[in-house]
C-alpha cells in the first residue's frame, strides 16, 4: 500500500529487525515493570491470611474462622477485606484512562518512571500502616502506579521489539508479573511467623518499584514515541542503541517519521477516534480481550489462593507454600509461551490454554462438590486439598502459556499509531474494572455459590474460547505498520475494514 508516495508494506518487510544483545537487554529492563504488579498480586492474598494482620485490621474474620460451625466457603467473606485488595484496581482504572494522554505527552519510558514513583509511595504507606485508612490509601497509590506502568510497558515492548519476535519479547512482561507473584509468595511464607511480618511484606514492594524505576532511566524511549514528540535525533540514537552499531538505521528512521507525519496529517488522536466505524474491530478487542482474561478466574485464584487453600483443609503455612507452588507453575508455563508464541501463533495458544483451563475448573468443582457437601461443612482431608492444588496447577499452566501473556500482547500490537495510546488505555481500564468487580465479589460468591463458583468461571472460559476461534485473526509475524491487513481478510471484520485499508496507517 502506498501512502504519500511511500510503500508501507515493502518497508515493513525491509525493517524486520534482528535480535541483538542491546534490544534483549532493553526489553528485559522494560518488562521488569511487571514486577510491581506481580508482587502486589502475590503479596496481598498471603498477607490476608496472616494472624497478626487480621488481629490488627480485621479481627472479625479471626472470630469467624474460630467457629466450628462456619461454612468453609464463607470464612473470608468480608467486604472490608476485599476492599483492601480491590481498591488498587479501582485506582488503576482511573490512572489507566489518564495514561493515554500521559504516554502521548511524556512518552512510554517516562510514563513507566512516573508510575514506578507513585507505586513506591504506596508501598511505603502500606508498610507503615497503622489503620485501615492508611491501608486503603496505600492501595490507591499502588493502583495509580500500576495503571500507568501497565499501560505504557506492553506498548513499549511491541514498538521496540523486532516484528518477527514481538510475541516472545512481549511475553516478558507477563513473565515478570509471574516472577513478582512467586517472589511475593516466598516472602509471605518467610514472614508469616513474625508479628510484624505483614508490614515487612507490604513494605518490600518498594524494592521492585526501585528496580523498575531505575531501569527505566537507563533505556531509551521508543522511536515512534520520540518522533511523535519531535525528538528526531533522540529517535535516531534509540534505533542505533537497539539495532546495533553496525546497522544503518536511517531508512527505518525515515519510515517512522513518514508514518508519524501521515498519521498526524490525517487526524490528531482523540479519545473518540477509536469509536469510528473503521476501528470497530480494535474497539471490540480492547474490551473483550482484557475482560475475557479476568473471566478465566486467574486473578481471583492468584489473589485468594492462600485463603482458598486454607479453606479447603491446608493450614496457614501449607496454604502459603501452595501459593508459591502455584506461582512457580505459572512462571514456568510463561517460558513455554515465550518459546512457541511466534512459532505456533496466538490463536493456537489461546485455544489450547482455554480447553485446558476449562477442564481443570470443571474438575475442581466436581471434587469439591463430592467431598465437601452441598453446604461446605464436611471436613476435607489433606489428600483432597492436595488434589485441588494439583488441578489448579494445571489450570495455572494453561493460563500461563495462553491468556496470561497474550492479553498484554494482542492489544499492544493491533492498534494503529494514532489510537494506540487510547486503545491500550481502554484495554487496561477494562481489565482493572473487571478485576475490581470480581475481586470485590469473589469471596461472597464463594460463600453463596460454593463449588459452583468454579463452574461459573468454566462457563466463561468456554464462551471466550469460542470467541477467539471465531473472531480473533492471527497476528503472528505481522509488522505493526501492516497490521491493518488482518481485518480486511477476516470473514466478519472485513465489513468494517474495507475503507480502513485505503487510509489506515499505524
CA geometry: angle 173, 40, 154, nearest 5 deg:
20
Contact 59, 51 (CB under 8 A): no
78 compared with 63, residue with greater pLDDT: 63
**Count of Cβ atoms closer than 10 Å to residue 110 Cβ:** 18
| Three-state secondary-structure class, residue 286 | helix
The grid cell for 109 is 519510558
Give the model's confidence band at 6: pLDDT under 50 very low, under 70 low, under 90 confident, else very high.
very low
pLDDT in tens, 172-190: 888 998 899 889 988 988 8
Which residues on adjacent β-strands are paired with residue 305? none
Contact 45, 323 (CB under 8 A): yes
pLDDT score at 102 = 87
pLDDT in tens, 341-372: 888 989 999 999 999 999 999 998 888 888 76
What lies within 8 Å, CB to CB, of 101 at 6+ separation is 421
| Three-state secondary-structure class, residue 268 | coil
Average pLDDT of span 414-426: 82
Average pLDDT of span 3-23: 52
Average pLDDT of span 225-234: 88
pLDDT in tens, 203-224: 999 999 999 999 988 888 888 8
What lies within 8 Å, CB to CB, of 395 at 6+ separation is 301, 356, 357, 360, 361, 364
Lowest pLDDT segment from 6-20, 261-275, 471-485: 6-20
pLDDT score at 138 = 93
| Three-state secondary-structure class, residue 271 | helix
Question: Where do the H-state alpha helices sit in 218-270?
Answer: 223-228, 232-243, 250-266
Maximum C-alpha span of the chain: 77
Q: What is the DSSP letter of 480?
A: G
pLDDT score at 68 = 44
Contact 484, 504 (CB under 8 A): yes
299 has a pLDDT exceeding 80 = no
**Whole-angstrom distance, CA of residue 261 vs CA of residue 277:** 23
Please say whether the dihedral angle defined by the alpha carbons of residues 346, 169, 116 and 206, taken in this order, is positive or negative: positive
The grid cell for 347 is 490463536
4 has a pLDDT exceeding 50 = no
pLDDT score at 350 = 94
pLDDT score at 83 = 76
**Whole-angstrom distance, CA of residue 243 vs CA of residue 235:** 12
pLDDT score at 497 = 66
Instruction: Residue 405: name the closest of 240, 244, 168, 235 by CA.
Output: 168
Backbone angles phi, psi at 347, to 5 degrees: -60, -40
323 compared with 361, residue with greater pLDDT: 361
**Whole-angstrom distance, CA of residue 458 vs CA of residue 360:** 8
Backbone angles phi, psi at 6, to 5 degrees: -115, 125
5 has a pLDDT exceeding 50 = no
Instruction: Residue 284: name the closest of 411, 459, 101, 428 by CA.
Output: 411
Contact 405, 174 (CB under 8 A): yes
Backbone angles phi, psi at 304, to 5 degrees: -110, 15
End-to-end alpha carbon distance in the chain = 12
The DSSP-derived string for 41-65 is HHHHHHHTT-HHHHHHH-HHHHHHH
pLDDT in tens, 64-116: 666 545 555 565 556 677 777 778 888 888 888 888 788 888 888 999 999 99
pLDDT score at 473 = 93
Lowest pLDDT segment from 252-256, 421-425, 441-445, 497-501: 497-501
Amino acid at each position: 500500500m502506498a501512502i504519500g508516495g511511500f510503500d508501507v508494506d515493502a518497508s515493513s518487510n525491509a525493517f524486520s529487525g534482528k535480535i541483538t544483545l542491546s534490544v534483549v537487554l532493553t526489553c528485559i529492563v522494560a518488562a521488569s515493570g511487571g514486577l510491581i504488579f506481580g508482587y502486589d498480586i502475590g503479596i496481598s492474598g498471603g498477607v490476608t491470611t496472616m494472624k497478626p494482620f487480621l488481629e490488627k485490621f480485621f479481627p472479625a474474620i479471626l472470630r469467624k474462622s474460630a467457629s466450628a460451625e462456619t461454612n468453609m466457603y464463607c470464612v473470608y467473606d468480608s467486604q472490608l477485606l476485599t476492599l483492601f485488595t480491590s481498591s488498587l484496581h479501582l485506582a488503576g482504572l482511573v490512572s489507566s484512562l489518564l495514561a493515554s494522554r500521559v504516554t502521548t505527552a511524556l512518552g512510554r519510558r517516562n510514563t513507566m518512571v512516573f508510575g514506578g514513583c507513585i507505586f513506591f509511595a504506596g508501598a511505603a504507606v502500606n508498610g507503615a500502616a497503622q489503620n485501615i485508612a492508611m491501608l486503603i490509601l496505600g492501595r490507591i497509590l499502588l493502583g495509580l502506579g500500576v495503571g500507568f506502568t501497565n499501560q505504557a510497558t506492553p506498548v513499549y515492548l511491541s514498538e521496540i521489539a523486532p516484528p518477527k519476535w514481538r510475541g516472545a519479547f512481549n511475553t516478558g512482561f507477563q513473565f515478570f508479573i509471574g516472577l513478582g507473584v512467586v517472589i511475593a509468595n516466598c516472602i509471605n511464607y518467610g514472614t508469616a511467623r513474625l508479628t510484624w511480618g505483614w508490614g515487612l511484606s507490604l513494605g518490600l514492594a518498594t524494592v521492585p518499584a526501585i528496580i523498575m524505576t531505575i531501569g527505566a532511566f537507563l533505556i531509551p524511549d521508543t522511536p515512534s514515541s520520540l518522533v511523535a514528540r519531535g525528538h528526531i535525533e533522540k529517535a535516531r540514537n534509540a534505533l542505533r542503541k537497539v539495532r546495533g552499531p553496525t546497522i544503518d538505521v536511517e531508512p527505518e528512521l525515515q519510515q517512522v517519521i513518514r508514518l508519524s507525519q501521515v498519521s498526524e496529517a490525517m487526524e490528531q488522536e482523540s479519545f473518540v477516534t477509536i469509536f469510528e466505524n473503521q476501528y470497530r474491530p480494535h474497539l471490540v478487542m480492547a474490551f473483550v480481550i482484557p475482560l475475557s482474561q479476568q473471566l478465566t478466574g486467574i486473578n481471583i485464584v492468584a489473589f485468594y489462593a492462600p485463603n482458598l487453600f486454607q479453606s479447603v483443609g491446608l493450614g496457614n503455612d501449607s496454604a502459603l507454600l501452595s501459593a508459591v507452588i502455584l506461582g512457580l507453575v505459572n512462571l514456568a508455563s510463561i517460558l513455554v509461551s515465550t518459546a512457541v508464541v511466534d512459532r505456533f501463533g496466538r490463536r493456537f495458544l489461546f485455544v489450547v490454554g482455554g480447553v485446558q483451563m476449562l477442564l481443570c475448573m470443571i474438575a475442581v468443582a466436581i471434587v469439591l462438590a463430592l467431598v465437601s457437601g452441598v453446604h461446605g461443612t464436611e471436613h476435607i482431608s489433606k489428600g483432597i486439598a492436595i488434589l485441588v492444588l494439583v488441578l489448579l496447577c494445571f489450570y495455572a499452566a494453561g493460563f500461563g502459556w495462553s491468556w496470561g501473556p497474550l492479553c498484554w500482547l494482542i492489544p499492544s500490537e493491533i492498534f494503529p499509531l494514532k489510537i494506540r495510546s487510547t486503545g491500550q488505555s481502554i484495554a487496561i481500564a477494562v481489565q482493572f474494572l473487571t478485576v475490581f468487580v470480581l475481586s470485590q465479589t469473589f469471596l461472597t460468591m464463594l460463600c453463596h455459590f460454593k463449588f459452583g463458583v468454579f463452574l461459573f468461571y468454566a462457563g466463561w472460559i468456554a464462551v471466550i474460547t469460542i470467541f477467539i476461534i471465531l473472531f480473533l485473526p492471527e497476528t503472528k509475524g505481522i509488522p505493526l505498520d501492516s497490521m491493518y491487513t488482518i481485518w480486511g481478510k477476516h470473514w466478519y471484520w472485513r465489513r468494517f475494514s474495507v475503507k480502513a485499508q485505503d487510509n489506515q496507517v499505524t
